[in-house]
Amino acid sequence: MEEFLKHFKNHSRAEQLWLSQVFEAVQQQLFPLLDASRGLSVSGLSLSVVSKVQTAFSSLSSDLPVSYRFVSVSELIRDQRTACCSSLSWSSAHYREQARGAELKLPAHKAIPRDNLLLIGCLCDGRAVGTSEGVWRVRDAGGSLACAMLKSSSLWLGRLMLFPSWNYIPHDAPGLGYLELLEPPVCVTLEAMAFDPGGALSEVMSVMRAAELLRQRCGDQVCVCVSGQVSVVCPLLVIRGKRFFCLVLSEEGSSVPVFITEAKHQYWRQCVCVGRSVCISSLRVCSLQGMQGQRVLTDSCQSRLHPHLQNRENSEDPDTHSVTDDTHSADTHSADTHSADTHSSDTHSADTHSADTHSADTHSADTHTDSINDDTHSADTHSADTHSADTHSADTHSSDTHSADTHSADTHSADTHTDSINDDTLPADTHSADTHSADTHTDSVTADTHSTDAVFRSGSAVRVKRSKLISFKGTVTKILNAEAGLYEIDGQVGLCLAYQPAQKWGGGLRPGAEIQLHNVHFIYRSSPFAPSVVLCACLRSSLQITSFSRLRSKVEVSGSHGPLQRLLLEKNLGPSQYLWLCYCQDAVAERLCPRWVRAERVCVVAERLLDVVCDPEHKTQKKRDIYREMIQKPHQCPVTMFCVWWPSTALWSLKQLSDWMRHEVWSSLSLASLLPPSAAHMTALELNSALSWSVHTVQLTDVAPEPLLLLGVLELDPTRATLQLRDQTHTLDCLCVSEDRTAHISTAWQGCLVCVQRCTLVMERFMKSQFPSWKHLDQPSYITHKDCRLYLQLCVDDLIIISPSAAMSRCLMEDRQAGRASAKRPPTPVACVSVLLRLEWKQAVLLRPEPGFVCGAVCLGDAQRWSHDPKNTRPLERERLGDAQQIELHFTGSCVRWFPVLHPGCVYRLIARNTEDVSLLKAKGVLARGGVTQLSSPALLLQPQWRIHTITEELPDTQSGVPEFLSVSEVLLSSSAPEIVSFRGVITQRITLQEDSGSRPRIQSQTAAEEQDVRLRLTVRDAERPGHVIDVYVDLSWGPYTLGLIPGAALSVRHVQRKLSKVCNVYCRSLPVSCVCVTDLTSVCSRSGVAPPLPPMMLLGEWAASRTQRCVLAQVKGHVVCVLSLRLQWTCSLCGSIFGQASCGRTHPPCDSTSAVFQAEAKVVLEDGSADAHVWFSSDSVCDLLKLNAGQWEGLQRHVKVKGHVKVYTRGRSMTCDEDPDDVLVQYLSCLCSSAAVCRQIHLTCRLRAQRTGKSQLKKVHRGQTEFICKFPPALQLQCTHIHTHTSTVSHTC
Ligand SMILES: [Zn+2]
Ligand SMILES: [Zn+2]
């Protein structure tokens, strides 16, 4: 130490102290690294260090940088938790300027803070520390760190270096941090290790000659030294534990591939870069396994990499300092020229790129398509390919520009190369084994053409395009997904590195870093979920950092291949599919992880979804051959062809879908379209009632221009008794129906992760409004309350299982194994008891007094003990021994969740776990339940922890005792129909019943009072006999809201009361126990515009006579004999009183309404030869009956307005009126009603009105001269619902 300090006698005390610290550090950290034989003392080394530090710090003065602290590598690794940078040469002002500049470019990031640290260490390639990864490392006595450099020289290996400027980027995992050297290192020791030129440099061969040599197939081992410009640097690969990389040297149109396989040469990967000239000695010729005829150069143990041939003398100069300096200046220089030359044309912005290339691409795609359509084989196709390959390689600066000749020279050999990445080894020996036959290249091209052809043919919508190879220069602006190898450059261009092996550490690829890319694929519009331009690096591409980022960022690189990249290799995905997979993985992770999908399973889920959206033939390309990908011309790799904008399927979260529906439900609302044609004649009560409920359905496929996929877990909701689709963003109710009405949703679906491509979005609207009349519909302020209910209508057949529940996997396995015992995993022992049941009937869920429902079931055998949970396994023989017993199952509280998966007729196993007490499952006594005295079987109260499993196996002799459903006709007509009936039908009309104002104060629930207390009249028609309809009055206030009660829906109605009205019409009324279930919505959802079937055509006589088989709806054709009465009236739309002139006629209490509607009613006698009938026409059909045009109809309304109303009726042969028979209007109407235009042949659809019960009529009938008095049944009373006869305007003259 004293000897060392002697040199600094004149320095201050502070400097002396600093110097002694340096001395200690050198002694501890650096001296042990040096070869003792070189006779350098600690003091000498310290002096050398101080001298280099001084030069780097300030070349002018001899100041010592006392503010800098010596830091060891182990200290950095151990103590430095955040990124830091240090530079000897920067002034504070310089640092601040740089930092501000960097922060301005990417405002989301902060600059790396500066620290004054001195770092000195030995540059090594990692072999010394046992990690030969072809990566530079900085080492001192305490440890080593990976380091990235912009430019490096092979001469630096093993030297002690001072690092004047660097960033340290730490990593969460110790030892994974790394250094970014901002400036080239400075050699500290005066002498290098003995420089070994290795091999002979005397015969330097040009690339052209080397290429000839490779073609000549000389059998003898030759060692050559080749010099040329690097045109391609492939990434480092590890195959079967062997690490190697490939580079291509080019010169005047010739090129030779060189494989660097020696472990000790792997660090050369860091020393070569595209555009740089190198000379490599002691190269041998060898042939590649699996690529007959393709010979390459490979390095040998003696090989050396000489960076600059022209400086060869210099590099052999023992004065390392000058060498180092020279090298630096030369490096920097060549780098500059290089980037200036090569990339001047590439640095234009991405926009220009995309525009240019797009048209160019289209062209080459055309060419390609042409060649496919020509059915000619390899020759033509091949030339077409070569052509397009030429086109693109002309753009790149690289050595691809000549392919055709070289390539046609290889006409031979095609053993089907089945070498996948795992099969390949680089042969160490040089044998020229061209023993096989057939042209591999033609083969591969043909194969390619075929596969493309297939894509074109089968997936008509999928366009496949060829990508171009380009070079690119830009700044990393964002790490999109480090694990997936996705980055963003210049704020708009994507960069995909997934096709290259993953680097263990970031390698400087951080936001703010400037990079140069060579031979990357330019892909335009490959995926809607990635930037429109994506640059995709493959095994022939190289990425080079040209300037490290000054910004702090997290190092987010996984240690090895992430699951996505593993999948990419396994499934051989194209870039479009890979980008979709990355999008999908993000979506799954965000919405399902960790609640339903574990982090490590996210990728598996994404993979299955990819299978759902892709046909296998679109997804997988032909097998890969990495050697071809690296060296073959024209270049072929998995990225060469890509699908345009496909797969385009978007994964919407349930929140996204729900938000869309919430918006759509009201934006689609058109009040006028909700109203029938008679809206103009409706009073306020009728109008607002008609608006109070409406429904809007949209198919999932129609929601967005791109296909949509929903993903979620099916679960049972314990409070609403519905099936739900859930993800972490939202929950949507589902109405699950099955197309064949037998395959009901089973318990096994509970917990399944499913995806849905087809389903119907149902949006029910509930509105409270106070529109005075239809004229006010354009004023939305009359709507006082809006609410909606959103849910999905799913078909069991449309559910795609992505991850089955345990019960579902058993079902699936059972299917596959056809009943073989599935003892794959021994079940966990747990005591259970179970009983097998067949459900007979199910009542509705009631909310009060507490949520619950009741089912009827038959026990198929006695309760059983188990040593394990039998779940939904195939029933054993013993389970079916015992007496069948009728029981009631009572579900209360959270047990109501079972409601959607319990279906009468199905067999279930009820299981209680952790018990051996079979009596638990014994039904006992009778549980009283309010008002229900339907059955009095023993009852079993379900416990919340009990499980129910649907048994899917068909069991012999368990034919269901479930009462058959009646049809609507049977309910209507059968005189023997019981009081409580169950039937099936199709809803034709849904009317919300207005509550009497008297019963207003009902129990107001906190949510949506509208839908809580809904009472409906459903008109249900017979599925087969459209003439038979029945009204069902349903009170939805007892239970949770029933989904899917929409006109067009098929439904099953259980346990409703059949009633007869005063006028002998049959209708039904729901009871608390009634269960109304929608079984099919396809006619609602298909929107195919299929009109409901027309009711049957009937003769009046037949209709009147068949009292028991009576239709409710029918078509009739007949003659209008006379108009019995006609009533025209202006009605106050609020109170229904007559509205004369401009005010309501009601006086007690007075009504201040200002709006009135015109209403009309006519009653005519219709005769069709078989009988007479009285037919009633209401407002809008009266106009058609009278055959008035719009002008005449309005004129009539104006005339009536004077008095407010007029009523004419038949007396004798003419019509009259009570009040003023001579009034012009009465005269006109009388004349009109008896005109031939009205008394005409007419075709109607009528509905039976309430029938007057009672006496038959006596009528005189003339037959010739004779007069009879006959007894006729009372005339049929019909209401016209539709006039079929075309209305032509006839002018009436009286
Ligand atoms: Zn490629
Ligand atoms: Zn009124």
* C-alpha 620 to ligand 1 mean position (Å): 16
pLDDT for 53 beyond 60 = yes
Give the pLDDT score at 1009. Answer: 40
Average pLDDT of the residues in 294-298: 88
Mean pLDDT lowest among 849-863, 879-893, 966-980: 966-980
In this structure, what are the phi and psi dihedrals at residue 316, rounded to the nearest 5 degrees? -90, -5
Tell me how far the alpha carbon of residue 1139 lies from the centroid of ligand 2, in angstroms: 7
Strand (E) or helix (H) holding 545? strand 542-547
Ligand 2 centre and the CA of 1153: distance in Å?
5
Whether 999 has a pLDDT exceeding 60, the answer reads no
972-981 pLDDT tens trace: 887 777 888 9
Give the ligand at the shortest distance from the Cα of 499. Answer: 1
Residue 255, beta-bridge partner list? 250
- Ligand 2 center to residue 1034 CA distance, Å? 31
Per-residue pLDDT tens digits for 795-823: 888 999 999 998 898 888 876 665 454 44
Q: What pLDDT was estimated at residue 177?
A: 85
Pairing of strands 760-769, 783-795: antiparallel
**Which ligand is nearest the CA of 234, by number?**
1
Query: How many whole angstroms from 431 Cα to the centroid of ligand 1?
Result: 28
Q: What is the pLDDT of residue 506?
A: 63
Q: What pLDDT sits at residue 2?
A: 83
Give the number of residues written for the chain.
1294
Q: Which ligand is nearest to the CA of 518?
A: 1
State the pLDDT at residue 556: 61
Partners of 1157 in the β-ladder: 1131
CA–centroid distance, residue 168 to ligand 2 (Å): 86
Using the mean position of ligand 2's atoms as its centre, give its distance from the Cα of residue 507 in Å.
84
Q: For residue 639, how far is its CA from the centre of ligand 1 (angstroms)?
A: 5
């794959």: which residue's tokens? 824
What pTM did the predictor assign? Answer: 0.81
* Nearest ligand to the CA atom of 1131: 2
Taking the CA of 684 as reference, the closest ligand is: 2
Instruction: Tell me, in angstroms, the distance from the centre of ligand 2 to residue 1161's CA.
Output: 20
The whole-number pLDDT of residue 1027 equals: 84
Q: How far is the CA of 782 from the centre of ligand 2 (A)?
A: 18
User: How many helices (H) and strands (E) are present in the chain, helices listed first?
Assistant: 27, 58
State pLDDT tens for residues 435-464.
232 322 323 333 333 333 334 434 456 889
pLDDT at 928: 52
To 5 degrees, how large is the angle CA 944–CA 945–CA 949?
100
Rounded to the nearest angstrom, the distance between the alpha carbon of 1159 and the centre of ligand 2 is 14
The confidence score (pLDDT) of residue 1251 equals 67
Q: How far apart are the C-alpha atoms of 663 and 76, rounded to whole Å?
A: 56
Q: Looking at residue 183, what is its pLDDT?
A: 92
Mean of pLDDT values over 562-576: 86
Separation of 1250 CA from ligand 2 center, angstroms? 28
Q: How far is the CA of 344 from the centre of ligand 1 (A)?
A: 23
Q: How far is the CA of 337 from the centre of ligand 2 (A)?
A: 94
Strand partners, 1214: 1211
What's the CA-to-centroid distance between 70 and ligand 1, angstroms?
46
Instruction: Output the CA 614–ligand 1 centroid distance in Å.
Output: 23
Note the pLDDT of residue 1017: 92
Spacing, Cα 691 to ligand 2 middle (Å): 21
Give the percent of the chain with pLDDT over 90. Answer: 39
User: For residue 331, is pLDDT > 80?
Assistant: no
pLDDT higher for 943 or 319? 943
**So what's the pLDDT on residue 1154?**
87
The Cβ of residue 1189 has, within 10 Å, a number of other Cβ atoms equal to: 14
Ligand nearest to the CA of 389: 1
Distance, CA 1198 to ligand 2 centroid (Å)?
A: 19
User: Among candidates 842, 845, 837, which has minimal Cα distance to 861?
Assistant: 837
* Average pLDDT rounded to a whole number, residues 263-280: 90
- How far away, in angstroms, is 267 Cα from ligand 1 center? 24
For residue 630, the CA-to-ligand 1 centroid distance in Å is: 8
**Distance from residue 777's CA to the centre of ligand 2 (Å):** 19
Give the closest ligand to the alpha carbon of residue 1152.
2
Spacing, Cα 1138 to ligand 2 middle (Å): 8
In angstroms, what is the span from residue 539 Cα to ligand 1's centroid?
A: 6
Task: Report the separation in Å between the CA atom of 999 and the middle of ligand 2, taken as the mean of its atom positions.
Answer: 22
**Rounded distance from Cα 640 to ligand 1 centre (Å):** 6
- Closest-lying ligand to the alpha carbon of 232? 1
DSSP helix/strand/coil, 218: coil
Ligand nearest to the CA of 772: 2
| pLDDT score at 1163 | 94
Residue 435 CA to ligand 1 centre (angstroms): 29
How far does the chain reach from its first CA to its final CA, in angstroms?
Answer: 136
Distances (CA, A) of 1131 to 113, 317, 416, 1196, 1206: 84, 115, 89, 15, 12
Q: How far is the CA of 538 from the centre of ligand 1 (A)?
A: 5
What local confidence, expressed as pLDDT, does residue 741 receive?
55
Q: Return mean pLDDT, the chain.
A: 79
Q: Which ligand is nearest to the CA of 396?
A: 1
pLDDT at 142: 87
Please tell me the number of the ligand nearest to residue 1157's CA: 2
Looking at the CA of 1156, which ligand is closest?
2
Residue 923 has pLDDT above 90, yes or no: no
Least confident of 551-555, 1171-1175, 1280-1284: 551-555
For residue 687, the CA-to-ligand 2 centroid distance in Å is: 15
> Got the DSSP string for 408-472?
HHT----------GGG----SS------S-S-HHHHHHHHHHHHHHHHHHH-TT-EEEE-EEEEE
Taking the CA of 641 as reference, the closest ligand is 1
**Is a pLDDT exceeding 70 seen at residue 388?**
no
Report how far ligand 1's centroid is from the alpha carbon of 247 (Å). Answer: 14
Q: Give dist(CA 1253, CA 1274) in Å, integer.
A: 8
pLDDT value of position 364: 33
Is 562 or 160 the better-scoring residue by pLDDT? Answer: 160
* 34 or 199, higher pLDDT: 34
Average pLDDT over residues 602-615: 90
Q: Nearest bound ligand to CA 1146? A: 2
CA 1131 – ligand 2 centroid, Å? 8
Looking at the CA of 1149, name the nearest ligand: 2
1134 CA from centroid of ligand 2 (Å): 5
pLDDT of residue 555: 65
Q: Which ligand lies nearest the alpha carbon of 470?
A: 1
Which bound ligand lies closest to the C-alpha atom of 1155?
2
Centre of ligand 1 from the C-alpha of residue 572, in Å: 13
- Start-end of H helices in 217-346: 312-316, 320-343
Band of residue 1083 on the pLDDT scale cut at 50, 70, 90: low
Taking the CA of 1135 as reference, the closest ligand is 2
For residue 979, list its beta bridge partners. Answer: none
Distance from the alpha carbon of residue 995 to the mean position of ligand 2, in angstroms: 20
Closest listed ligand to the CA of 624: 1
Cα separation, 274 vs 726, whole angstroms:
52
More confident residue, 849 or 1198: 1198
The identity of residue 1056, as a single letter, is V
- For residue 942, the 8-state DSSP code is P
**Mean pLDDT (whole number) for 1017-1043:** 89
Q: What's the pLDDT tens digit per position in 1031-1062?
A: 999 988 888 888 999 988 999 998 899 988 77
Residue 1204: nearest ligand to its CA? Answer: 2
Assess whether pLDDT exceeds 60 at residue 1223: yes
The string of pLDDT tens digits covering residues 373-382 is 333 233 333 3
Q: Are 873 and 810 in contact (CB under 8 A)?
A: yes
Residue range 754-799, pLDDT digits in tens: 999 999 999 999 999 999 989 899 999 999 999 999 999 988 889 9
Say what the pLDDT of residue 375 is.
32
Query: How many angstroms does the Cα of residue 1227 sit away from the middle of ligand 2?
Result: 29
> How close is the Cα of 472 to the center of ligand 1, in Å?
15
The token duo for 897 is: 């969740």
CA–centroid distance, 1145 to ligand 2, in Å, is 7
Measured in Å, residue 1154 CA sits from the centre of ligand 2 at 8
Residue 325 backbone dihedrals phi, psi, to 5 degrees: -60, -45
H or E, element range at 691:
helix 684-691
**Res 959: pLDDT:** 59
- Give the number of the ligand closest to the Cα of residue 683: 2
Cα separation, 519 vs 543, in Å, equals: 9
DSSP string, 979-1012: SEEEEEEEEEEEEEPPPPGGG------SS-HHHH
CA of 689 to the centre of ligand 2 (A): 18
pLDDT score of 640 = 92
Ion ligand 2: residues, CB within 5 A, are 1132, 1134-1135, 1137, 1144, 1146, 1151, 1153
Look at residue 1 in the predicted model and tell me its pLDDT: 79
